[in-house]
């Protein structure tokens, strides 16, 4: 379990060096997502329609959080925002995208499955 002093140390280091948030937005999100996707794949070896919906939803969330989070963090860094502000903005953005994705997962899945790329993949099998 993480102690309060460890959390304070992490927040203090982000406050001292706001570039950590940009580095997290650029590299931390994709690496963490890759690890989570491997774990999810191992847990759900069967490929069902529900798993496809979950995977598609998670992939859409990751892409949006990664791209928009990185762009936003770069803008905030160049504007001179503090590390705490950048951290809080990133957390709020992530939670907003997560809630949106959870409530609209069927629409996202339909949009992705109706796309040209999905049609090409289906035709190639």
Where residue 89 falls among pLDDT bands split at 50, 70, 90?
very high
Verdict on whether the full-model pTM lies above 0.85: no
Give the closest residue to 19 by CA, choosing from 106, 101, 81, 100.
81
- Per domain, the residue ranges of the chain are 49-114
Share of residues in the chain with pLDDT > 90 (%): 15
CA distance 105 to 119: 19
């Amino acid at each position: 379990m993480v102690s309060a002093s460890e959390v304070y140390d992490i927040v203090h280091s982000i406050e001292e060096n706001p570039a950590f948030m940009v580095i997290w937005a650029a590299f931390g999100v994709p690496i963490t997502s890759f690890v989570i996707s491997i774990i999810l794949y191992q847990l759900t070896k069967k490929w069902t329609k529900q798993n496809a919906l979950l995977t598609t939803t998670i992939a859409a969330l990751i892409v949006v959080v990664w791209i928009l989070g990185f762009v936003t963090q770069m803008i905030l860094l160049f504007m001179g925002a503090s590390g705490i502000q950048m951290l809080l903005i990133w957390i709020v953005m992530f939670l907003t995208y997560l809630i949106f994705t959870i409530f609209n997962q069927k629409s996202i899945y339909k949009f992705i499955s109706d796309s040209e790329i999905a049609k090409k993949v289906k035709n190639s099998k």
